[in-house]
């Protein structure tokens, strides 16, 4: 029936439209190529193709296609087809064949009037611009969107997308720069309403409604990465930030240099990054100016702050229900550290529109920080400025510091602010961390920066000079931030705190806002409380702190001097069933044709039956394990299989002699992991980390089997073989056969009282005597 419908639809379409869609195809398609290429165009039999190579739109007045086109240099090839009075849409492909590129390439192609025309061009001042900067009234200050074709090719020259889109000038005062930022929009009226490609490798987002081609703002012709560097540096703190991807841009085939692809902060950004309903969010800027949704709830937030005393902890507790205080503290610290000269009023914040939602902030637009326009900006007491009432209209008006001033009225929040700032200075903003990130970002654009600087009449040496200013800032800034904190909060001195981590297999450690995963050392503030907590893994027990009389698993204290913190972690007692119930065989990989699933076999190596009711099998945490059903017993010398999927297991192993139970809700990783078995007292019975047994997986079904129930669990005592659930493994049978042969031959050669060894020695001596005598006779004959 469905086939009939499809046939009828095809017949109807052909009858009405008379033919398939008329379209020009390019072979090869656009991209980045190492040398000149030849391009063939085709639109089907009977079609006539016209094309241009100068980025202008083709028509019947353009050059007619007759033979393959040789492409050299950077060429925008645009083509259109005509057939039976019908005209196809214009197809655009850009070919970059001039040199090597190690960055993605973006090509924008539009009618030149959309960019440069005195009346309609978005890139020029036009008729109505002021005579002084920033030339308000200029065309580039207008909210104009123009149609364009946009192509993106990855760093290997392969196509990411090629589609029609809308473009408009983006940004603030940076609009007056010769290289301008562009907002790019996918809309249904242009064709596809999404860019269907994972533009930013750091985020698992493969659809975008819009993005920015940023000129680096006030950092243009300087480092060209300040804004992106600072957001990348702050990324581990959990702040909302814009992803970053530098790219080489061409406009109408002309080299335009490096522009930074960034996410555009709007409702679609929130949808793809936070999974919220894009039609049900509030996005505001500055002092409550609406960008999307409503400002009503934010006004209620401000009203609450004005009318309530935040030195009262109960008021702070209620504030936390509709404002993410922790997020705001992290946000303010990042702005202070970076000395962002454009931070106060130039802000973005958002909430999902529901009763449990909280206001959160977006960390963005950092081009005026990190020493830009201020080579000694690392000394600036931005903390004081951002936490005081300033009598200025911009960029730090009184309303811009209102929230942080209110929060710091509370003693606990003040301590949280200080310790969180210290945490970040010791980790994400540590000079070593910052310089390592800077090095990696420089290496990505270093090669292309030679060409970019030349394009905009600057120099590579100038770029290096400004990078030096940025590097000096991130190296020295933490010292001055600590001085400013002590000055602001009346702190006498700093202390060094070192934490010795026993190992992630033994415990988790949290220190203030940090998750400690290795040995750690940082600078903190004398008499400002810090909190350390230890959470032992299930198989370990916390016994206290080395060389410290106080402190439990959660310890809050006021440091007075340099200290070393080392938790004492000891193993929990093992089960009484250890060495009685053991892992004997495990199936953790099957080829596609084998659908039996993962399973593991237990063996009772003791002299009596064992009740396994309530025992736990797990591949991760104890709490996440699978409970063995009540009434499960394992007799002495018997086997029990635990199957991931009982039904699937029985499709391959149907013998009634195989005892099997299931199902557990996890499988075993083919790369290896730690499998554990716990008894009813929650004590470990056996464990197996099987990854070492078979590093290279065979093409057929197999299991890892223990050689002998009493053998130790090392790679020398496990073997790969065909599955034998519920039975003696071939590995064990071979072992038993070798042992039987050994016993037999020992019995054959054994003569009581040690006579066998006497006869053996005498035999060897006689053999040597006669051999020596034979050699003597041979010499005598000669």
| 182, 167 Cβ separation under 8 angstroms | yes
- Integer Cα distance of 470 and 370 in angstroms: 6
What is the edge-to-edge ordering of all strands in the sheet holding 289-292?
289-292, 281-285, 348-352, 360-362
Joined together, the tokens standing for residue 698 give 């065979």
Judge contact between 75 and 420, C-beta under 8 A.
no
Return the ∠ at Cα 233 (arms to 204 and 283), rounded to 5°. Answer: 65
Question: Is-above-0.95 flag for pTM?
Answer: no
pLDDT per residue over 397-417, tens digit each?
Answer: 999 999 999 999 999 999 999
Render pLDDT for 361-375 as a digit per residue (tens, 0 to 9).
999 999 999 999 999
d(CA 360, CA 265): 13
Tens digits of residue pLDDT in 494-521: 999 999 999 999 999 999 999 999 999 9
Which residue in the block uniquely carries the two structure tokens 């197996």? 688
pLDDT in tens, 722-778: 899 998 888 788 878 887 888 887 777 655 545 555 555 556 666 666 655 665 555
Q: Find the mean pLDDT for residues 631-656.
A: 95
- What's the confidence (pLDDT) of residue 404? 97
275-288 pLDDT, tens per residue?
Answer: 999 999 999 999 99
Peptide bond into 134 cis (omega under 30): yes
- Measured CA to CA, the distance from residue 197 to residue 206 in angstroms comes to 5
- Backbone φ, ψ for residue 70 (5° rounding): -85, 125
Percent of all residues in the chain with a pLDDT value above 70, rounded to a whole number: 92
Q: Are 639 and 601 in contact (CB under 8 A)?
A: yes
């Amino acid at each position: 029936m469905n086939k009939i419908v499809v046939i009828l639809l095809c017949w109807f379409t052909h009858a009405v439209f008379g033919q398939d869609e008329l379209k020009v195809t390019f072979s090869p398609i656009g991209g980045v190529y190492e040398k000149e290429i030849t391009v063939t165009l085709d639109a089907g039999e009977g079609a006539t193709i016209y094309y241009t190579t100068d980025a202008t739109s083709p028509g019947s007045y353009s050059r007619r296609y007759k033979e393959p086109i040789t492409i050299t240099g950077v060429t925008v090839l645009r083509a259109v087809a005509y057939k039976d009075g019908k005209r196809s849409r214009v197809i655009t492909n850009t070919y970059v064949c001039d040199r090597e590129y190690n960055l993605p390439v973006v090509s924008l192609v539009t009618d030149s009037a959309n960019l440069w025309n005195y009346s309609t061009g978005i890139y020029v001042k036009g008729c109505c611009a002021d005579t002084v900067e920033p030339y308000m009234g200029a065309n580039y200050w207008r909210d104009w969107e123009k149609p364009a074709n946009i192509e993106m090719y990855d760093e290997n020259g392969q196509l990411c997308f090629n589609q029609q889109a809308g473009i408009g000038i983006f940004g603030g005062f940076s609009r007056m720069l010769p290289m301008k930022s562009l907002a790019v929009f996918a809309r249904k009226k242009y064709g596809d309403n999404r860019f269907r490609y994972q533009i930013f490798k750091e985020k698992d987002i493969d659809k975008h409604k819009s993005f920015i081609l940023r000129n680096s703002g006030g950092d243009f012709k300087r480092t060209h990465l300040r804004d992106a560097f600072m957001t990348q540096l702050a990324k581990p703190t959990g702040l909302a930030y814009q992803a970053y991807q530098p790219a080489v841009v061409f406009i109408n085939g002309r080299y335009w240099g490096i522009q930074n692809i960034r996410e555009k902060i709007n409702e679609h950004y929130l949808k793809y990054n936070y999974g919220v309903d894009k039609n049900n969010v509030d996005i505001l800027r500055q002092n409550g100016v609406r960008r999307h949704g409503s400002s009503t709830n934010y006004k209620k937030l401000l009203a609450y702050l004005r009318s309530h005393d935040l030195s009262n902890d109960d008021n702070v507790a209620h504030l936390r229900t509709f404002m993410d205080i922790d997020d705001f503290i992290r946000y303010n610290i990042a702005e202070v550290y970076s000395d962002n000269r454009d931070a106060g009023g130039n802000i973005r914040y958002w909430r999902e529109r529901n009763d449990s939602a909280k206001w959160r902030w977006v960390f963005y637009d950092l081009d005026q920080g990190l020493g830009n326009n201020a080579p000694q900006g690392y000394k600036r007491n931005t903390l004081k400025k951002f936490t005081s009432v300033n009598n200025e209209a911009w960029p730090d008006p009184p309303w811009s510091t209102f929230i942080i001033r209110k929060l710091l009225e509370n003693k606990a929040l003040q301590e949280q602010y200080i310790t969180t700032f210290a945490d970040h200075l010791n980790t994400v903003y540590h000079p070593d961390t910052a310089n390592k990130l800077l090095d990696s970002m420089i290496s990505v654009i270093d090669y292309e920066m030679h060409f970019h600087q030349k394009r905009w009449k600057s120099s590579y040496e100038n770029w290096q000079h400004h990078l030096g200013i940025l590097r000096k800032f991130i190296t020295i800034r933490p010292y001055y931030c600590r001085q400013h904190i002590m000055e602001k909060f009346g702190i006498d001195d700093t202390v060094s705190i070192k934490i010795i981590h026993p190992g992630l297999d033994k415990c988790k450690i949290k220190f203030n806002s940090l998750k400690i995963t290795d040995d750690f050392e940082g600078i903190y503030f004398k008499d400002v409380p810090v909190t350390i907590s230890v959470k032992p893994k299930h198989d370990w027990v916390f016994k206290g702190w080395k060389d410290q009389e106080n402190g439990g698993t959660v310890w809050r204290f006021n440091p007075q001097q340099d200290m070393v913190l080392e938790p004492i972690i000891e193993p929990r007692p093992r089960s009484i069933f250890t060495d009685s119930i053991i892992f004997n065989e495990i199936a953790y990989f099957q080829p596609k044709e084998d659908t039996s699933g993962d399973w593991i076999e237990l063996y009772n190596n003791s002299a009596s039956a064992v009740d396994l009711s309530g025992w736990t099998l797990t591949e991760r945490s104890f709490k996440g394990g699978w409970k063995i059903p009540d009434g499960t017993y394992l007799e002495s010398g018997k086997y029990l299989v635990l199957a991931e999927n009982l039904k699937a297991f029985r499709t391959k192993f149907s013998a009634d002699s195989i005892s099997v139970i299931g199902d557990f809700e996890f499988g075993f990783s083919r790369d290896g992991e730690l499998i554990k078995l716990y008894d009813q007292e929650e004590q470990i019975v056996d464990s197996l980390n099987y990854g070492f047994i078979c590093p290279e997986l065979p093409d057929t079904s197999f299991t890892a089997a223990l050689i002998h129930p009493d053998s130790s669990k090392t790679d020398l005592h496990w073997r790969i073989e065909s599955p034998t659930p519920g039975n003696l493994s071939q590995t064990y049978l071979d072992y038993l056969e070798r042992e039987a042969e050994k016993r037999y031959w020992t019995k054959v050669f054994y003569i009581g009282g040690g006579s066998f060894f006497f006869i053996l020695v005498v035999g060897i001596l006689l053999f040597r005597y006669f051999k020596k005598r034979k050699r003597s006779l041979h010499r005598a004959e000669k």
